[in-house]
Amino acid sequence: MIPLWMYLVVAAGLFVIGMFGVLSRRNAIAILMGIELMLNAVNVNLVAFWRYQTPTKLSGQAFAAFVFAVAAAEAAVGLALIIGIYRRKRSVIADDVNLLKW
Amino acid sequence: MDITAEAIVFLLLSVLTLGSALLVVTTRNLFHAALYLMLALFGVAGFFVLLAAPFLAGFQVVVYIGAIAVLIILAVMLTPSVTRLPRIYNAQWAVNLALAVVFFLLLFSVLTPVVDDLGISGTWGANFTQNSPADVPASSVSDLGEALVDPQQYMLPFELASVLLMGALIGAALLVSPTARDDEDAPHESGQGA
């Protein structure tokens, strides 16, 4: 079978790509897409560790399912916030929404 | 590692997932980026199938590709000026790229046996060299379903997750509901239009 570390490396690559997107994109929707990529990388890690370390217990899969629920809630609220900001400021560039910046 | 069918599938899924993930963060057109995001999520679903977690693979297709990606596409369409940005990255993107590469190399050196092969002894590598895990019990999907509603196991977090989702959806609907917002915004519309 495929060694565990290969899954971990692919998940690390996915996480790092998502992290670059979150840190560098100007558009708030693109930032949310980066967050989705990072959450998916975490889920791959969780399931890979479940498969290779404790396949008879279910904690890994259950935890991944909860990550799904949190990701869905995050996407719904995040996109609603972005649409609300767009209505007020006609912009979704994260740099334009700096009202709370010291 | 000898070339097996599983290895080929793994390689294809890796290329699909990482390639489309790269396109998600580099494509200028956000609508295309959202479609590439769907492809990347599909690759992750393939990993779940490969890891013998069919329930999560189905969940991934239904929740992520079916709901979240479609929600993102909807948001892209509702904010029309966003696909024609002159610059897609902010001023710090070069630093961020260097940071991401360094972070990946650190993770790579810890996760893979490369460091051990180089002869650097010590505790740097994490030794994740398992490659023949025990078989997954045939009843793993039904066991997971029971564990999620079993008071001894995950019933409380499961119910909390449903309350969280309910609260998030009500909050999202409230944030974008046109009634209260428009009354409030209407007098300012001309002033804030720019």
The interface pTM score, or ipTM, of the predicted complex is 0.90
Residue A22: closest C-alpha in chain B: B25
Reported confidence tier of residue B84, pLDDT bands at 50, 70, 90 = low
Secondary structure in 3-state letters for B109-124? HHHCCHHHHCCCCCCC
B residues 93-152 lying closer than 8 A (beta carbon) to A: 93, 96-97, 99-101, 103-104, 107-108, 111-113, 128-137, 140, 143-144, 147-148
Burial of A51 (0-12, 13-18, 19+ CB in 10 A): buried
The C-alpha angle A86, A89, A95, rounded to 5 degrees, equals 90
Interface test with B, best of A19, A31, A45, A51 (most B CBs within 10 A): A51
Secondary structure in 3-state letters for B23-41? HHHHCCCHHHHHHHHHHHH
Question: In whole angstroms, what is the distance from residue A23 CA to residue B7 CA?
Answer: 33
Taking the CA of residue A102 and the nearest CA in chain B, the distance in Å comes to 19
Determine the residue type at B19.
G
Q: Residue A34 has what pLDDT?
A: 93
**pLDDT at residue B82 tops 60:** no
Reported confidence tier of residue B189, pLDDT bands at 50, 70, 90 = very low
Of B183 and A62, more confident: A62
Domain A4-96 architecture: Orthogonal Bundle (1.10)
Q: Split chain A (102 residues) into runs of 10 and give each run's mean pLDDT.
A: 86 94 89 92 92 83 89 90 85 81 72
Instruction: Please report, for chain A, the start and end positions of each structural domain, with discontinuous segments joined by +.
Output: 4-96
DSSP code string of B74-99: HHHHHSGGGGG-S-SB-TTHHHHHHH
Q: Residue A59 has what pLDDT?
A: 84
